[in-house]
């Protein structure tokens, strides 16, 4: 029979994975460009953690894995929304630049001098 300590130690990496997913969701939904480095570091930590997990998770890790999965779905949706907003803003910048070029004064004609005077 397994004891509670063994169950906790067995599920600890999966709990950590769920915690990382929750942290990623928080960073994405409260998006601040200055914190991109935190997202990159978090992703690296998650990649390392996932690589260390066994191919088959223990049954008692199910709740943590479901929590991580739900957070990942929400993070993906939040990132899609951010991408859509960024695309919209970039198209407005492009249109603004095109309009500004339309209002730009034509370059003044330079007088042409030739040797005849």
Q: Is residue 105 part of a domain?
A: no
Q: Is residue 111 part of a domain?
A: no
Q: Is residue 35 part of a domain?
A: yes
Does residue 1 surpass a pLDDT of 50? no
Q: Is residue 116 part of a domain?
A: no
Closest by CA to 23, choosing from 45, 53, 54, 50, is 45
Q: What percent of the chain has pLDDT over 90?
A: 61
- When the pLDDT of each residue in the chain is averaged and rounded to a whole number, the result is 86
Q: For residue 11, give every residue at least 6 positions away whose Cβ sits within 8 Å of its Cβ, in sequence order, or none.
A: 58, 60, 61, 64
pLDDT tens profile 36-74: 999 999 999 999 999 999 999 999 999 999 999 999 999
Alpha-carbon distances of 1 from 6, 7, 14, 64, rounded to whole Å: 10, 11, 22, 22
Number of domains composing the chain: 1
Q: For residue 52, give every residue at least 6 positions away whose Cβ sits within 8 Å of its Cβ, in sequence order, or none.
A: 13
Domain that holds residue 50: 7-100
Q: What pTM does this model have?
A: 0.71
Q: Provide mean pLDDT across the span 96-114.
A: 65
18 and 70 Cβ atoms separated by less than 8 Å: no
Q: Is residue 114 part of a domain?
A: no
């Amino acid at each position: 029979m397994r004891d509670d300590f063994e169950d906790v130690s067995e599920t600890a990496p999966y709990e950590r994975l769920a915690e990382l997913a929750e942290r990623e969701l928080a960073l994405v939904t409260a998006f601040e460009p200055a914190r991109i480095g935190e997202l990159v570091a978090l992703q690296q930590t998650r990649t390392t953690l996932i690589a260390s997990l066994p191919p088959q998770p223990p049954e008692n890790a199910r709740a943590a894995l479901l929590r991580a999965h739900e957070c990942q779905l929400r993070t993906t949706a939040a990132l899609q929304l951010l991408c859509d907003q960024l695309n919209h803003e970039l198209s407005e910048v492009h249109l603004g630049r095109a309009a500004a070029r339309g209002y730009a004064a034509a370059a003044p004609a330079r007088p042409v001098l030739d040797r005849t005077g």
